[in-house]
Amino acid sequence: MNGVMYIVLAQVCFAFIGVFTKYIGGAIDSVTLSFFRVLIASVFLLLIAIATGKAKQLSINRKDFVPFFILGVMFALNFVCFIAAFNYTTLLEAGLLCAALPVFVYFMAAKVLKEKISAGGIMALIALIFGIYIMNFTGLDSSHLLGNILVIVSCVFGAGMVTYMRLEDRDHSSMNTTFGAMIFASVLLSPILLWFDFGAVQLGTYTYVIILGVVCTGLAYLLVANALKSVEAGKYSILAIIYFAFISIGLGVGLFGEQITGSIVVGGLLLMVSALVIHYENYLLTNIKFIGILEQKINMMNN
């Protein structure tokens, strides 16, 4: 199976988060549902690692506690906001709004690394702002606004996760870091069980919860890890955003009869443009830095 197919399958899994969250409805609150999701996914990844003889790769050392704790906090907040969003918005709007993630990553990284923000970055931000405005304030039901805000907030925490993981110079695989963050996130969210009544939830609902944790989270991250073995990270990010958006639109329209309006089309296109601009901006900067390093080495050899 090639890298692109892994990306497609991973985005299908991620897109179904909204589907199963809507099926669960208000039977389980967003915080408790996030706890079950992250705990079940952690157990799933651990079992897969044990079955494949790679359990040592998921080990957590004492020195990793602080970074994994910080990642766990962002992981938990990302999960809670994203799941809560589907109580107030549609799958297709959430799928398009997730295109904001790479833009937030770009600006966070620029701030942390004290790098100058380029004209392309400013253009992407303007396109993002206009896209969000058009989607939320020109023809849409105002009841979707809270859900869309929660999606954006979840993207902010997701961008924080990506930026922090890039800054951490640790010898861990992406799966090891993800597993560690999930463990700490589940610990942080676990106090919610003190207020949860297991008997009040129908048995069938727990089936959706298990699928949400195993397929939509654990399996999804395994697919992402496999995709990144053969697909460059920048290419993965842009393909993931495009596939996730279209899959979410298809599920929203096909399963829930969600309507594609002119506002969603125009706003969504602007969001996609902002993500593409950031992708090619990062691509060009990376190549410029590489060429600069190469020229320095050639000059050193000539001298």
Domain extent for 211 = 3-302
**Separation of alpha carbons 221 and 197, rounded Å:** 30
pLDDT in tens, 55-109: 887 888 888 888 889 999 999 999 999 999 999 999 999 999 998 988 888 888 7
pLDDT in tens, 256-297: 999 888 888 888 899 988 888 887 766 544 444 433 433 443
pLDDT single digits (tens) 74-87: 999 999 999 999 99
Query: Which 8-state DSSP code applies to residue 34?
Result: H
**Whole-angstrom Cα distance, residue 283 to residue 263?**
30
How does pLDDT run across 139-192, given as a tens digit for each residue?
Answer: 555 668 889 999 999 999 998 888 887 665 555 677 788 888 999 999 999 999
Question: How many domains, the chain?
Answer: 1
For residue 222, give the nearest of 173, 155, 154, 159 by alpha carbon: 173
Check pLDDT > 70 for residue 252. yes
Distance, in Å, from the CA atom of 121 to the CA atom of 217, rounded to the nearest integer, reads 31
What is the value of pTM for the model shown?
Answer: 0.86
Which tokens hold the place of 6?
């892994």
Distance CA 60, CA 48 (A): 17
